[in-house]
Amino acid sequence: MAEAAGAAEVAPLHGGLPDEIVVWEVLVRLPPKSLLRCRAVCPAWRRVTSTRDFLLAHHDRQPSLPLLCVYCYNLLSAYGISLDVIPFDHRAGLAAVDQLKSIARLGKSYFGVRASCDGLLILCGLYRNLDYSICNPATRQHARLPQLDGFAFLGMYPHSPTGEYRLLLEKPSYAPAIQGGYYVFTLGSDQPPRRCPDDAEHMIQELSAVLFRGSLHWHVEQHGTASNMIKVFSTTTESFRRMRAPALPGKAHLFEMDGTLGMSSFNDAATTIDIWMTQDYESEAWALKYRVELLATAEVTVMFGIGRFDGRWSVAPSLDGDVLVLVEFGDWLIQIDMDSKVVASFQRALRCTDQLRLKQSLVPHSFFPTLEGYVVNDSPFM
């Protein structure tokens, strides 16, 4: 067993516990910052916690948390504004201050978060929407992606046949020089994005994709009519197909929960969130699992001094096995349970990031040093 072998190769780490327990039951469960601090305790801990096998196991044990962002005015930033990346740790018993701890602050925060995959974040320009970079907030690595100039970003995925990380892009048909359609770019490659077979009849409009069963999924919006179409991209064959969904009006968000694909949407009056789950993924059968009633406008005004829904919400699996619903009301972020009751509320300008979740990782990636403007623990990190 690789884990046991890795532990046995080092000197005893703790006089009272077997090395295998210390390494594979204690250290492997620490948050990334705590694990990095523990490496200063002794050389043996530093050696064993730096192996790839250990770091993969450590990443596997990190919680997958809803990702929130905060844009703050900051005099230390050359741009006058900074971006805090905040995983929402909603485990029971944590104080509010511990639930919303920033893991990274970016000083050049014309960046917004567009994708999260294996602890990596794709950032885009908030004002220049086609300006992209990649970062790992746990290792504080950052690099630009100038090869993506002129493309629209659609998704990020690990390509299982090669082990590479790839980006799915879209080039509008009216764009100059390059044929319109879908393209794939491999991180670390010196080759330009390559065109892949596409299905141009239903263009992708949702900001973030859900990686489920080795495929990226997007709900396809149709203006003026309810949409029952999901566009699916196989990350193995790198080809598209279509999937049926409940016919829902307006914007809908996809999410993954306990091996099941889910979808949430607001009703026309924006007073109810419907949550659908696949009963059988292969036969594309869906069922309505929850209907969450938002607080009436009068109640919201009384409780929070506001009466306006901002149109952003997030639905994700909770760490206790239920569904987590977050809704933005003015400067408040409100957590609501399946009985339509307020579980928690935060008076901060927290922003949901289109169903994105972050599972932190210290696993090294060889592509980072090959990218333009690569830095570690330097600007834009603050």
Identify whether 43 is part of a domain: yes
What is the pLDDT at residue 127?
59
Considering the domain architecture, whether residues 17 and 140 belong to the same structural domain is answered as no
Q: What is the pLDDT of the chain when averaged over all its residues?
A: 84
Which positions ≥6 away from 48 have C-beta within 8 Å?
Answer: 6, 7, 9, 10, 13, 23, 27, 54
What's the whole-number mean pLDDT along residues 11-20?
Answer: 64
What is the pLDDT at residue 353?
84
Supply the DSSP string of 195-247, one letter for each residue: E----TTS----S--EEETTEEEEEPP-TTS-EEEEEEEETTTTEEEEEEEEE
Identify whether 140 is part of a domain: yes
Range with top average pLDDT, 46-60, 120-134, 145-159, 164-178: 46-60
Percent helix, percent strand, percent coil in the chain, to nearest 5: 15, 40, 45
What is the pLDDT at residue 27?
94
Residue 342 has pLDDT above 90, yes or no: no
The residue out of 18, 37, 59 marking a domain boundary is 59
What's the whole-number mean pLDDT along residues 237-262?
Answer: 89
Considering the domain architecture, whether residues 247 and 125 belong to the same structural domain is answered as yes
CA distance 54 to 25: 11
What is the pLDDT at residue 75?
62
Q: What dihedral do alpha carbons 219, 225, 228, 229 form, nearest 10°?
A: -50
What's the whole-number mean pLDDT along residues 87-93?
Answer: 88
Confidence band for 338, pLDDT divided at 50, 70 and 90: confident
The one-letter amino acid code at 276 reads W
Residues of the domain holding 109: 62-376
What is the pLDDT at residue 5?
44
The DSSP element (H or E) to which 6 belongs, if any, is helix 2-8
Confidence band for 3, pLDDT divided at 50, 70 and 90: very low
The residue out of 18, 42, 59 marking a domain boundary is 59
Identify whether 362 is part of a domain: yes
Considering the domain architecture, whether residues 8 and 106 belong to the same structural domain is answered as no
Domain count along the chain: 2
Identify whether 244 is part of a domain: yes
Looking at the DSSP bridge assignments, the partners of residue 280 are 285
In the chain, the percentage of residues whose pLDDT exceeds 90 is 45
CA distance 110 to 375: 18
pTM for the predicted model, two decimal places? 0.89
- Other beta carbons within 10 angstroms of residue 298's beta carbon come to 9
Considering the domain architecture, whether residues 132 and 272 belong to the same structural domain is answered as yes
What is the pLDDT at residue 170?
86
Q: Among 371, 377, 305, 314, which Cα is nearest to 132's?
A: 371
Structure tokens at 130: 């086609």
Please, where are the H alpha helices in 39-160?
43-48, 52-60, 96-99
In the chain, the percentage of residues whose pLDDT exceeds 70 is 82
Residue 37 has pLDDT above 80, yes or no: yes
Considering the domain architecture, whether residues 26 and 78 belong to the same structural domain is answered as no
Please say whether the beta carbons of 170 and 204 come within 8 A. yes
What's the whole-number mean pLDDT along residues 146-175?
Answer: 87
Considering the domain architecture, whether residues 76 and 46 belong to the same structural domain is answered as no
Confidence band for 262, pLDDT divided at 50, 70 and 90: very high
Confidence band for 199, pLDDT divided at 50, 70 and 90: low
What's the whole-number mean pLDDT along residues 59-77?
Answer: 84
What is the pLDDT at residue 35?
94
Considering the domain architecture, whether residues 71 and 171 belong to the same structural domain is answered as yes
Please say whether the beta carbons of 326 and 314 come within 8 A. yes
Identify whether 381 is part of a domain: no
Q: Sheet holding 260-266: strands in order across?
A: 252-257, 260-266, 272-280, 285-293
Identify whether 278 is part of a domain: yes
Considering the domain architecture, whether residues 104 and 205 belong to the same structural domain is answered as yes
Per residue in 203-249, pLDDT tens?
Answer: 665 567 899 999 999 988 776 677 788 999 999 999 999 999 998 87
Identify whether 382 is part of a domain: no
The one-letter amino acid code at 141 reads Q
Residue 87 has pLDDT above 60, yes or no: yes
What is the pLDDT at residue 151?
85
What is the pLDDT at residue 228?
86
What is the pLDDT at residue 4?
44
Considering the domain architecture, whether residues 81 and 50 belong to the same structural domain is answered as no
What is the pLDDT at residue 311?
66
Residue 42 has pLDDT above 70, yes or no: yes
Identify whether 137 is part of a domain: yes
Q: Among 154, 143, 142, which Cα is nearest to 183's?
A: 154
The residue out of 25, 42, 59 marking a domain boundary is 59
Q: Among 330, 349, 327, which Cα is nearest to 340's?
A: 327
Considering the domain architecture, whether residues 212 and 244 belong to the same structural domain is answered as yes
Considering the domain architecture, whether residues 70 and 32 belong to the same structural domain is answered as no
- Which CB contacts under 8 angstroms, 24+ apart, belong to 80-89? 81/109, 81/110, 82/106, 82/107, 82/109, 82/382, 83/109, 83/111, 83/112, 85/113, 85/121, 85/137, 85/358, 86/350, 87/357, 87/358, 87/360, 88/326, 89/63, 89/65
Three-class secondary structure of residue 143 per DSSP: strand
Please report, for the domain that includes residue 299, its CATH number: 2.120.10.30
Considering the domain architecture, whether residues 51 and 73 belong to the same structural domain is answered as no
Per residue in 279-325, pLDDT tens?
Answer: 999 999 999 999 988 766 556 667 777 666 666 788 988 887 788 89
What is the pLDDT at residue 136?
98
Structure tokens at 272: 């109810």
What is the pLDDT at residue 8?
42
